[in-house]
Amino acid sequence: MTKVLRDKHIVLGVTGGIAAYKAADLASRLVKAGAVVDVVMTEAATKFVTPLTFQALTHRPVVTEMFALLRETEIGHVSLAQRMNLLIIAPATANTIAKLAAGLADNMLTATALDTRAPILLAPAMETGMWENPMTQENMARLQKRRDVTVVGPGVGRLASGGVGPGRMAEPAEIVDWARIVLGRRGPLAGRQIVVTAGGTREPIDPVRFVGNHSSGKMGYALALAARDRGAKVTLVSAPTALPAPVGLQLVTVQTAQEMYQAVLASLSESDALIMAAAVADYRPAVAAAHKLKKSGAGLGLELVRTPDILAEVATRRAELGRPRVVVGFAAETQDLVANAQAKLKAKRLDLMVANDARQAMGADVNQVTLLDAAGGVEELPLLPKDEVAERVMDRVVELLGLRSEAGGA
């Protein structure tokens, strides 16, 4: 569960398009993430999905009519508008976009939208012709100029008409991601630059083989998202992983330890914190063969040479530059966890060391870590999902940077 959505009040406006069915999935995801979701539907939306669907998913009454429900003062548009942290309109039809751009307030959703000062997240969905029409484009431009609007999509895909083109509503998972970004952008790391490394480096033997490790990148990606959701500008330096590219951050992909070394050093002078979650190879083949190695009767010896130690170099540069102010390392151990991690914390001159058992951590969705700090503090965390571990580590980074530690809030 991501911290930034927890207990946030979100109004989900659903307008009349076939993608309204996907809004049910969106509502469910937001509720699961801990948000309080009030759904406001236009009349046209109720032709596609029933209010009952949303009521069952959000456990809250669904607002459809402006006047019938005003007697329920609790959910009148004024109280909704004032209480919400974020207004999401998904799907947003061309018709509703036009009304928003013109400042109309002819139904509960447009009235709420006109009334609120909360940021708006808009997921347009319509036929390609409607989307590409200069009228719609002008309305979008006008809206973005006047209001705090973030637009997600539309993507290219199959539309209600059966045609294929731009106009398809962004996927619910992506909309949730953007909700996290918008809600977190005034968080404790707003204006800070954080570099996170992730994944396991690959050291080529020949064009088709490499020396690698079992790192999945999950821990590093979770850390990057946790930093992003606290408002940071994040650079994620990633060795190969099977994970989708996260939105709302700068992704730099690398293969080898040497490439990661260069990417990290290049980003260092502007960064406030560096979190080295990557499993960096300590050795690489002395030569990478230009062509695929052919087998022969005899065995094959592989000469390995050292790769650069990124954190060692960071420590040297930091002594000169004073940046990054906070450096966090990971210790992947299979024995004497705390003692080995403490030794590495000192040797690499870190502020925080996240120690984990490499056998359990690599590839898994959960992790049991011990946090060791430079002052000698030892905090053993329970077995937690990796995104929860990431939240805890990021809270410590916020503290180490001398910032307030609660997460976000738009």
Strand residues in 47-181 grouped as ranges (E): 86-92, 120-124, 149-151, 155-158, 164-168
d(CA 167, CA 328): 43
Closest-by-Cβ residue to ligand CTP is 310
CA 397/CA 271 separation, integer angstroms: 13
Q: Which stretch binds ligand CTP (CB under 6 A): 92-100, 105-113, 214-222, 302-310?
A: 302-310
Residue number, 358 or 381, with CB nearest to ligand CTP:
358
The least distance separating ligand CTP from the CB of residue 277, rounded to whole angstroms, comes to: 7
In the complex with ligand CTP, the residue whose CB is nearer, 141 or 347, is 347
From the number of C-beta atoms within 10 Å of its C-beta (0-12, 13-18, 19+), residue 352 rates as buried
Q: Is 175 in the site for ligand CTP (CB under 6 A)?
A: no
Among 131, 210, 221, 330, binds ligand CTP (CB under 6 A): 330
Binding mask 238-257 for ligand CTP (x = CB under 6 A): -------------------x
Q: Which is nearer to ligand CTP, 39 or 331 (CB)?
A: 331
User: How many H helices and E strands in the chain?
Assistant: 15, 21
Between CA 148 and CA 87 the distance in angstroms is 10
How far, rounded to the nearest angstrom, does the alpha carbon of residue 4 sit from its chain's CA centroid?
11
* Nearest distance, CB of residue 138 and ligand CTP, angstroms: 49
227 is a contact residue toward ligand CTP (CB under 6 A): no
Element (H, E) at 250: strand 250-253
* Between 149 and 350, CB nearer to ligand CTP: 350
Write the single-letter amino acid at 290: A
**327 binds ligand CTP per the rule CB under 6 A:** no
Stretch of residues binding ligand CTP (CB under 6 A), selected from 27-35, 136-144, 325-333, 372-380: 325-333
Output 108 or 352, the one with its CB closest to ligand CTP. 352
Q: How many CB atoms lie within 10 A of CB 268?
A: 19
- Binding map of ligand CTP across residues 91-110, x = CB under 6 A, - = no contact: --------------------
The verdict on 329 binding ligand CTP (CB under 6 A) reads yes
Name the residue nearer to ligand CTP (CB basis): 99 or 284: 284
Question: Is residue 332 at the binding interface for ligand CTP, with CB under 6 A as the rule?
Answer: yes
Distance CA 45, CA 129 (A): 21
For 196-225, give one letter per residue: b (16+ CB within 10 A) or e.
bbbbbbbbbbeeeebbbbebbbbbbbbbbb
Tokens of 250: 């700068």
Nearer to ligand CTP, 41 or 277 (CB): 277
Displacement of CA 250 from its chain's centroid (Å): 11
For ligand CTP, which is the closer residue by CB, 27 or 275? 275
Number of residues interacting with ligand CTP: please give it, by CB under 6 A.
Answer: 14
Which candidate, 176, 167, 109, places its Cα nearest to that of 140?
Answer: 167
Contact indicator for 180, 5 with CB cutoff of 8 Å: yes
CB of 261 to ligand CTP, least distance (A): 7
Using N-to-C axis directions, what is the helix angle for 134-146 and 94-102, rounded to 10°? 50
Options 65, 132, 282, 406; binder of ligand CTP; rule CB under 6 A = 282
80, 101, 278, 390: which one binds ligand CTP (CB under 6 A): 278
Instruction: Determine phi and psi for 254, rounding to 5 degrees.
Output: -135, 165
State yes or no: residue 307 binds ligand CTP (CB under 6 A).
yes
Binding positions for ligand CTP, 344-383, rule CB under 6 A: 344
Helix (H) or strand (E) holding 257: helix 257-267
What's the start-to-end Cα distance of the chain, in Å? Answer: 18
Q: Is 389 in the site for ligand CTP (CB under 6 A)?
A: no
Catalytic machinery residues: 213
Which one of residues 276, 326, 337, 362 is an interface residue with ligand CTP (CB under 6 A)?
Answer: 276
Q: Which of 100, 113, 183, 280 binds ligand CTP (CB under 6 A)?
A: 280
> What 3-state class would DSSP assign to 370?
strand
Judged by CB under 6 A, the residue of 62, 196, 311, 407 near ligand CTP is 311
Q: How far is CA 234 from CA 190, 200, 251, in A?
A: 11, 19, 8
Q: Which spans of this chain sit near ligand CTP (rule: CB under 6 A)?
A: 257, 276, 278, 280, 282, 307, 309-311, 329-332, 344
